[in-house]
């Protein structure tokens, strides 16, 4: 595709200001379907998107994007042909046009009528896919974590500077109204100076067993699934979710769920890069192929500005502060707690609840794919507004990289077995060669991500 074609398409999209003005909480007005809106809002005014990775979280995102009145899901791409067929069937119920399927998302990037790519692949594909999309002059909605390793995160920061596209990371709580209001109260001094944020996630995940080498299923393009990762044999306990617990493709619970709450903690304390990082834990519950910790405590110190901790328990779901997931800020005058819902509580120093803000939206924090569709639509609309009107992103890639890096540093501390000293100006590891080995990964020859 030519730059002129992309530029004119992008300019047209930016000039159409339909946006969120016709949208209520949840993305669609009561009593109207997505197809009803398709008849009201012209198709040419929609942001046309391609979806890549639609088996689980990607299917939920496809359902959400195709339900937005100012969006059309034009292409669906997945290495699993069954997942693609299921996704297309769901999208057809939401919008007036049936999306096209292409098993190789790189071919979708060649389409002139695609404005943005929605990336919900396994973690090892996140940054490489976003970089390829950026180079193809597409905007990007990128599921968290934004990268598999710190080097890739830095590449994303550079790529958006070079190609001037919009990249929004899917840490959607940045767009939830009451969460944002709670953070605003924190910044206004409702509990005085906040200096400690504790974050957590708990679950009761089962064993993944011992995998056996098996024939690659006929519905799976395993070579493309591995993509930038050095090739390994197919085993029967990797797809579609257990890859999270293998360092080769995944990033463990810390980045799978920790990213969300650590991001809120960083936002609340108004800090960027730490000065010191430690981590303790391991794989304790089962003896199986699971490599990443099922129990982990990460500590991130920010000099005299404060500390963030994250506690992850994948295999013991006992709640903390009455919630399976959350962040609580401690300050001079009290505490402020945000759980997995769109609300917050404020306590004084005597543990008295002095304020509680609730929301009626139902959220299942242990739903693996779609815990909060209605609220997440607000994040999607912020992405569209940035494309069409230049609105500031609630989670731009610089912020996304900074939050992702915090939990990546926790994992590096865990894997290198020691304390990390960090340069607070850029987040780089100091004086630790063993830890620096984890800053970037080895790639399959010919698949290395580059920004040129």
pLDDT band at 34 (very low <50, low <70, confident <90, very high): very low
Pairing of strands 420-422, 353-357: unpaired
Res 436 pLDDT > 70: yes
Q: What mean pLDDT is predicted for residues 19-26?
A: 32
Complete domains list, the chain, with CATH: 3-175+376-396 (3.40.50.720), 180-363+398-436 (3.30.360.10)
Share of the chain above pLDDT 90, in %: 85
What does the alpha-carbon distance between residue 118 and residue 108 come to, in Å, rounded to a whole number? 11
Tell me the chain's radius of gyration from C-alpha atoms.
Answer: 21
Residue 62's nearest CA partner among 128, 121, 13, 118 is: 118
User: 374 or 383, which is more confident?
Assistant: 383
- Give the distance from CA 273 to its chain's centroid: 19
Residue 20 has pLDDT above 80, yes or no: no
Higher pLDDT: 143 or 33? It is: 143
In this structure, what token pair is assigned to residue 217? 């299923």
Q: Are 118 and 65 in contact (CB under 8 A)?
A: yes
pLDDT beyond 70 at 223: yes
Q: What is the average pLDDT across 191-199?
A: 98
Helix (H, G, I), strand (E, B) or coil at 341: coil
Average pLDDT, stretch 401-410?
98
Predicted TM-score (pTM) of the model is: 0.89
Question: Looking at the predicted structure, is the pLDDT value of residue 299 above 90?
Answer: yes
Kindly indicate the confidence band of residue 44, based on its pLDDT and cuts at 50, 70 and 90: low
Q: How many residues does the chain have?
A: 452
Q: Which of 145, 78, 137, 151 is nearest to 443 (CA)?
A: 151
As a whole number, the mean pLDDT across the chain is 90
Residue 373: predicted pLDDT:
78
Q: What are phi and psi of 379, to 5 degrees?
A: -70, -40
Mean pLDDT across the stretch 290-294? 98
Tokens 């009561």, located at residue:
30
User: Which run of H or E residues covers position 409?
Assistant: helix 397-416
Q: How confident is the model at residue 418 (pLDDT cuts 50, 70, 90)?
A: confident
Sheet hosting strand 325-331, strand order edge to edge = 353-357, 344-348, 334-339, 325-331, 194-202, 307-313, 295-301, 276-282, 420-422, 429-430
**More confident call, 29 vs 249:** 249
Residue (of 143, 147, 51, 138) closest to 103 by Cα position: 51
Flag whether pLDDT at 35 surpasses 60.
Answer: no
Contact 172, 341 (CB under 8 A): no
Reported as a pLDDT band with limits 50, 70 and 90, residue 31 is very low
What single string gives the DSSP state of each residue in 314-325? SB----BTTBSE
Q: Give the position of tokens 């009593």.
A: 31
22 pLDDT more than 60: no
Rounded CA separation 42/49 (Å): 16
Instruction: Fill in the DSSP letter of residue 375.
Output: H
Could you read off the pLDDT of 225-239 as tens digits, one per residue? 999 999 999 999 999
Give the pLDDT confidence score for residue 96 in this predicted structure: 85
Residue matched to tokens 């430690």: 278
Confidence of residue 209 (pLDDT cuts 50, 70, 90): very high
CA dihedral 136, 388, 373, 259 (to 10 degrees): 60
Instruction: State residue 15's pLDDT score.
Output: 45
- Helices 373-389 and 3-15 pack at an angle, to 10 degrees, of 120
Mean pLDDT computed over 396-415: 98
Which strand (E) or helix (H) includes residue 345? strand 344-348
**Is 94's pLDDT higher than 90?**
yes
pLDDT in tens, 240-280: 999 999 999 999 999 999 999 999 999 999 999 999 999 99
As a whole number of angstroms, the distance between CA 370 and CA 340 comes to 13
**Average pLDDT, stretch 35-44?**
40
């Amino acid at each position: 595709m030519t730059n002129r074609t992309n530029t004119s398409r992008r300019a047209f999209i930016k000039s159409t200001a339909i946006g969120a003005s016709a949208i209520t909480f949840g993305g669609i007005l009561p009593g109207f379907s997505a197809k009803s809106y398709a008849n009201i809002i012209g198709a040419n005014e929609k942001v046309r998107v391609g979806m890549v990775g639609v088996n689980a979280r990607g299917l939920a995102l496809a359902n959400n994007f195709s339900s937005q009145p100012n969006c059309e899901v034009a292409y669906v791409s997945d290495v699993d042909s069954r997942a693609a067929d299921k996704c297309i069937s769901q999208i057809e119920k939401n919008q007036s046009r049936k999306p096209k399927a292409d098993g190789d998302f790189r071919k979708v990037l060649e389409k002139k009528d695609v404005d943005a790519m929605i990336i919900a692949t396994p973690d090892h594909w996140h940054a490489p896919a976003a970089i390829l999309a950026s180079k193809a002059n597409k905007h990007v909605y990128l599921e968290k974590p934004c990268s598999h390793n710190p080097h890739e995160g830095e590449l994303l920061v550079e790529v958006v500077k070079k190609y001037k596209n919009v990249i929004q990371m899917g840490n959607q709580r940045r767009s939830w109204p009451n969460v944002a209001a709670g953070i605003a109260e924190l910044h206004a001094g409702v509990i005085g100076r906040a200096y400690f944020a504790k974050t957590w996630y708990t679950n009761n995940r089962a064993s993944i067993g011992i995998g056996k080498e098996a024939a690659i299923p006929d519905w799976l393009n395993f070579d493309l699934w591995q993509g930038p990762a050095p090739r390994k044999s197919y085993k029967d306990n990797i797809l579609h979710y257990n890859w999270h617990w293998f360092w080769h493709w995944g990033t463990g619970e810390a980045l799978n769920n920790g990213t969300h709450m650590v991001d809120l903690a960083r936002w609340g304390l108004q800090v960027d890069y730490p000065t010191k990082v430690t981590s303790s834990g391991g794989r304790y519950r089962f003896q199986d192929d699971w490599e990443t910790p099922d129990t982990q405590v990460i500590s991130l110190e920010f000099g005299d500005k404060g500390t963030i901790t994250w506690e992850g328990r994948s295999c013991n779901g006992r709640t903390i502060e009455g919630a399976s997931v959350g962040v609580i800020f401690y300050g001079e005058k009290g505490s402020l707690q945000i759980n997995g819902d769109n609300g917050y509580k404020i306590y004084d120093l005597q543990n008295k609840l002095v304020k509680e803000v609730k929301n009626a939206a139902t959220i299942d924090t242990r739903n693996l794919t779609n815990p909060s569709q209605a609220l997440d639509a607000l994040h999607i609309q912020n992405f569209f507004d940035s494309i069409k009107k230049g609105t500031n992103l609630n989670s731009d890639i610089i912020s996304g990289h900074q939050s992702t890096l915090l939990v990546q540093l926790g994992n590096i501390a865990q894997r290198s077995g020691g304390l990390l000293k960090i340069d607070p100006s850029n987040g780089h590891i100091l004086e630790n060669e063993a830890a620096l080995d984890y800053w970037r990964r080895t790639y399959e020859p010919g698949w290395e991500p580059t920004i040129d």
